[in-house]
Amino acid sequence: MSRSYILALLSALTRTAAETYNIPSNPTVSGEPFDSFVSYSIEFSSFPDFAGNHSHPNKYSYNLINNIHAISNNYPVIRVGGNTQDFALYNASQSTSLVGVVDPDKSPDYPTTITIGKSYFESYRTWPGVRFSHGFNMGLGGKTARGRETLVDTAPLACEALRHGNFYTWEYSNEPDLFTSGTYAPRLKGWNETDMVAEWLAGTDEIRNQVKKQCPEIQVSFIAPSNAGVSNALKASKMWAAGLNKRGDIAMFSTHNYIDGAKVPGVTLQGTLMNHTRTKLSVNNHVAEYNSIFHAAGSPPPLIFGETNSLYNQGRPGLSNTFGAALWCVDFNMYSAAVGFKRVHMHQGTNYRYQAWQPVATDLAAIGTKAPYYASITAAHMTRRAAHAPVSISHVALSSDAAESAYAAHCASRSGEKHLARLMVVNMHGYNTTVGGAGLEPLPSPPPRTVRKYKFRVEGVRDGVRASVQRLMANGSDAITGITYDGWSYNYDLDEGRGVRLTNVTVGEKIVVERGEVVVHVADSSAVILSFANGC
């Protein structure tokens, strides 16, 4: 975005009095996310596309992952799984990593008949520094002879690939609460939580036995079975009551979330995604479920989103691939961090509409960085932490927060004293510059863009401190290109996904703390981080 355009935006500001919001030096309610808070879930059938193999690693994907590391001081953690993990069968004689057949009646977006070969596991060795979870097939593994053989045959291959400092945890099953519904349900009606737990324990016992034989140095731990939602037929609470963790080896309580469906009538960018109230309600449902299960537990497993994104059924063009969806993603990640989620794995797959990047060129999509990736960059900056200074994220309630939100990041010193490190505003008021808001044909005369004024009282920050300003910007909420964070572009065409600082974007802004307050102006459909030099 050009310097002249930024100045025009600021000149359009209606200078009305702004309410002052208080940022306490030690928030009473906040979440402390893990390192690698910004992480990804990659569809099982798409993983070879994203990671490549030993002879042809996907360097573009790794460049994007390294960008996250450079900003947050940590690599994303990658969960390999999704619907297709429960279709994958092993073929020892297959030379290619994966052979998949798409049945459009089941899904046009991913194969539902899948075989993998030994070379599939090479993909785990292409991204140095990155840790992975591997998803095993419970849909067929707990039901068919070939599925059980696949579990026995692939557990040693998976642990061999993940014994080099790149192991995160194991996962057995994807969304078992949907196993009795849909056109390809792997279980009959009446299959309940007790049945599910019996199958899960038998399968995880087999994984444990195989891993101990092949990789005895790996401590066997599991992500809890990740349900698709809190209102489906099978309930997580009943799974735990039926003895899900009787072996004491569940390391993470994982749940999945999509705000709405890509094919649901009435879904809109402003009303569904760029809607802070909707996001809060959706996330809070998962927190309530978690608290109801572990309200009396002394040390419950950490809460994570093992898979999440904007709209299920792989997203909708004109919504999930827009800059507005990136703003939603920033807000979703920050609110999740503030209410106790330790890590968020944003899901993606080849040709998916909500993906952060397209890893390879196909007949459906060109290789390239998508708008949601810039949300990952922004969230990584907000949650960055130094080794000695954990970061806590708190939600700052605004007076009218349906389309706007604010967050504070505090870091703790060695003495335990907290300092305000960063302050974020996400302005999700829509601003469109293309015909029909489709992100393609530009309007001949875009409307004026409102700039809103936000004032914060920053306790513990002395007067005269200059906060650095980093802006997440695009031409509008409907934009699908031309997106920058603090002037940086991560386009594939510029330097294969490495950050390139653009010369036509205003950077280097500073805001001075005066009388204990900071004032920042934020254009509609944009976000900003104010960074204070306070330790992380």
> Beta strand 78-81 with 132-136: parallel, antiparallel or unpaired?
parallel
Helix (H) or strand (E) holding 518: strand 517-523
User: Which residue, chain included where needed, has tokens 């920058």?
Assistant: 484
- CB-CB contact of 258 with 311 (8 Å): yes
User: Which residue, chain included where needed, has tokens 């390139």?
Assistant: 500
Q: What is the DSSP letter of 269?
A: I
Number of residues that this document lists for the chain:
536
535: how many CB neighbours lie within 10 A of its CB?
18
- Hey, which bits of 32-153 come out as E strands? 38-43, 78-81, 88-90, 98-101, 113-116, 132-136
State the catalytic residue, choosing from 122, 175, 199, 307.
307
- Single-letter amino acid code for the residue at 336: S
| Long-range Cβ contacts of 432-438 (<8 Å, 24+ apart) | 432/476, 432/477, 432/478, 433/475, 433/476, 433/478, 433/479, 434/476, 434/478, 434/479, 437/269, 437/318, 437/477, 437/478, 438/318, 438/478
- Which 3 state secondary structure label does DSSP give 39? strand
- CB-CB contact of 425 with 520 (8 Å): yes
Give the closest residue to 334 by CA, choosing from 288, 369, 380. Answer: 380
Q: Known catalytic residue: 171?
A: no
Phi/psi for 176 (5° steps) reads -65, -15
Q: Known catalytic residue: 307?
A: yes
Distance CA 442, CA 92 (A): 52
State the catalytic residue, choosing from 122, 193, 206, 404.
193
Taking only Cα atoms into account, the Rg of the chain, rounded to an integer number of angstroms, comes to 23
List the catalytic residues.
193, 307
